[in-house]
Chains A and B, each alone.
Chain A
Amino acid sequence: MAATTAPGGKRHISKRQLRDWIAGYVFASPFIIGFSVFIAFPMFYSVYLIFVEWDLLTPATFVGFANLAKMFRDPKVNLSLYNSAFYTIFAVPIQLTISFSLALALTQRIRFRDFYRAGFYMPIIVPLVASAVVWQRVLHPEFGILNEALGWFGIAPRMWLFEPSLTKPAFIFMSFWMIGRQMVIFIAGLGNIPDSLKEAASLDGAGALGQLRYVILPLMTPLIFYNMVIAIINSFQTFVPAMIMTEGGPQDATLFVVLNIYRNAFQYFNMGYASALAWELFVIVVGFTLVQFYLSNRWVYYEEGS
């Protein structure tokens, strides 16, 4: 194997190499075809769609930049962006704090750790549609368990999903229920921190908080960063709860970006306009991710050599 890929082998193609090349392409062909048909072509296609108006019944008509111009002035679009941003900005940091704290707690020497882990992970395996259906009722003003539980502490019942100012907070609260994945990642990371480092810190006089501040947190920054990037991408694409629990209401308070795209495409049949909105989301998500990667140099600790 080493002999065929040695330097200089590039000029002279042996029979063996040629066979490898062919085999390589053949084995990778599902992806090469799948990518071309289901990802690359649709992306180019949707760039074209930005510039047309098409309701699928009449032929597409070229409208130039009309969709884009409309997009920037459309109050619904701006509202949906605001809703998604609001949701993301509040949900993600709190999610990360909760999942990190849980991971810290579950790596202490307490009993039943496996049970706790499974318990906190459990909501992840509840199908998304079922959890939306359940939470719609958990948050029910009269018969929901949230208001009931708040009542034990003397807190008056709220109209969670019926009052525009409370719906997004209720959605954010619900998202805390589904932090099991982040927690498991953090637990795995915490397990990889060598005890010797913590011991060294404690010999230097660092207490539990000092160890957290100077040893654990810095070593965990790559995973915090990773979880954050994924959580932001996912939060921006929230769809199922809004579709099932509130249908974007009340008063468009949960009209998130993806729901708005879905409606424009498959309820109003504005294929061109929906494509423009999808590209706007794409640019925002990729932009956000790139900015985070850029900023990550300042706070994420990477071990030397990696």
Chain B
Amino acid sequence: MRSDRQAQGALATGLQAAPADLESGGALRRRQSETSGSVWETVRLAVLQIFMTVLVITFLVPTFWMISSSLKVSTEVFAHPIVWLPQDPHWNNYVKAFQLLPLTRFIYNTMIIVVFAVLGTVISSALVAYSFARISWPGRNFWFGLLLATMMLPDVVTLVPRFLIFKNLKWIDTWLPLIIPYWGGIGAIYVFLMRQFFRGIPMELEDAAEIDGASRIRVLIQILLPLSKPVIATVAVFALLQHYNDFMNPLIYINSMDKWPLALGIRAYNDSYTRNWEVVFAASTVMLTPMVAIFIVAQRYFVQGIAMTGFGGR
């Protein structure tokens, strides 16, 4: 057994060594141009490494502090010098958070709002993007231009009139204002993203399909969308972030506490339990946790989407 592994190891190093030998000419030249300050370079990178480590810890401290404080007893929260880790984790703060305000209800409400808003965003953006990317019709450029122009439009401009419209529709204190508009494909950035992606898919696929008499909606669903999973994921992740985060719209439209999403709930903890930091932190941690989970699972789509668009869902 052991000799086997040794042999494998030797083979592996051998395999690595061979191309290195072949390339040594180029590598040597490259190394020479760098050796001019090789010690200097090592020192520079080491300093940079240390500096980045300190900085990234600094960036992580507020979040870490929030989570660790959510497990402290209040004497540890209000202690000098700061207690970084609770002596033993006080999970009861979470129990309290769920008892003081209807946190379960807030989570449920958020889920419903976010699911339907994201669903609307994805479906409507796909339909609209398909039209802009694949069908030629008069007025297409005009409408696409309008779509792009809305990116520059601050939401605040339509805040008051939108409120009045929803008030007339008797939608105040319902979730409809937080969901219905997003079925209208007005998230310009999402439509734009999908359109760009659709345009990158070769036309031949659907031309062939059309000869078969497949209708356009079937082309979209059966051919384009299965090929567009990355962009759908990106749009879904950003839309999710946007609606999960949304504070101003719920603030304006939702009055009754039993319809509040988490964003309003956290504010209520903050206002009502100002002296119980640990409970406020526990509730905030509850709100953060799904985002962390999604970030870990879908990190690639965050980065992809930001690199493509520069937006991060807020």
Contact = CB atoms under 8 A, between A and B. Distances in A.
Interface string B269-312: 11000000100110010011001101100010011001100111
Interface residues of B, number: 93
B135 A23 contact: yes
A25 B152 contact: no
B81 interface: yes
Contacts of A33: 184
Given A30-B183, A31-B184, A271-B160, A134 B263 contact: no
B235 interface: no
Contacts of A43: 157-158, 161
Contacts of B280: 133, 137
Interface stretch (B88-96, B97-105, B226-234, B244-252): B244-252
Interface string B136-177: 111110010011001011111111111111010000000000
A258 interface: yes
A181 B309 CA distance: 10
Given A20-B136, A35-B150, A278 B124 contact: no
A184 interface: yes
B146 A130 contact: no
Contact of A34 (B45, B60, B77, B183): B183
Q: Taking each of A102, A110, A258, which has the highest tally of chain B beta carbons within 10 Å of its own beta carbon? A: A110
Contacts of B152: 233, 285-286, 289
B7 interface: no
A286 B154 CA distance: 9
B291 A125 contact: yes
A25 B266 CA distance: 43
A110 B52 contact: yes
Contacts of A122: 59-60, 63, 295
A5 interface: yes
Given A30-B183, A31-B147, A38-B158, A226 B45 contact: no
Given A128-B314, A265-B160, A275-B161, A244 B267 contact: yes
Contact of A46 (B77, B128, B160, B203): B160
Contact of A265 (B163, B284, B307): B163
B185 A281 contact: no
B186 interface: yes
Main secondary structure of the interface of B (DSSP, over half): helix
Interface residues of A, number: 93
Contact of A49 (B56, B143, B153, B161): B161
Interface in A119-174: 119-131, 133-138, 142-143, 145, 148
A177 B287 CA distance: 19
B27 to A, nearest CB: 15
A41 to B, nearest CB: 7
Contact of A261 (B49, B156, B207, B266): B156
A201 B141 CA distance: 42
B291 to A, nearest CB: 5
Given A1-B207, A23-B216, A25-B137, A130 B266 contact: yes
A133 B45 contact: no
B61 interface: yes
Interface of A: 1, 5, 20-21, 23-28, 30-35, 37-39, 41-43, 45-46, 49, 56, 102, 105-106, 108-112, 115-116, 118-131, 133-138, 142-143, 145, 148, 177, 180-181, 184-185, 188, 202, 226-227, 230, 233-234, 236-237, 239-240, 243-244, 258, 261-262, 265-266, 271, 274-275, 278-279, 281-282, 285-286, 289
22 contacts: A24-B137, A27-B216, A31-B184, A39-B153, A42-B165, A105-B48, A106-B52, A125-B294, A127-B244, A127-B245, A128-B314, A129-B262, A129-B266, A134-B65, A138-B62, A148-B81, A184-B302, A184-B307, A240-B247, A271-B164, A275-B160, A285-B152
**5 interchain residue pairs of minimum CB distance:** A34-B184, A24-B137, A27-B131, A42-B161, A188-B307
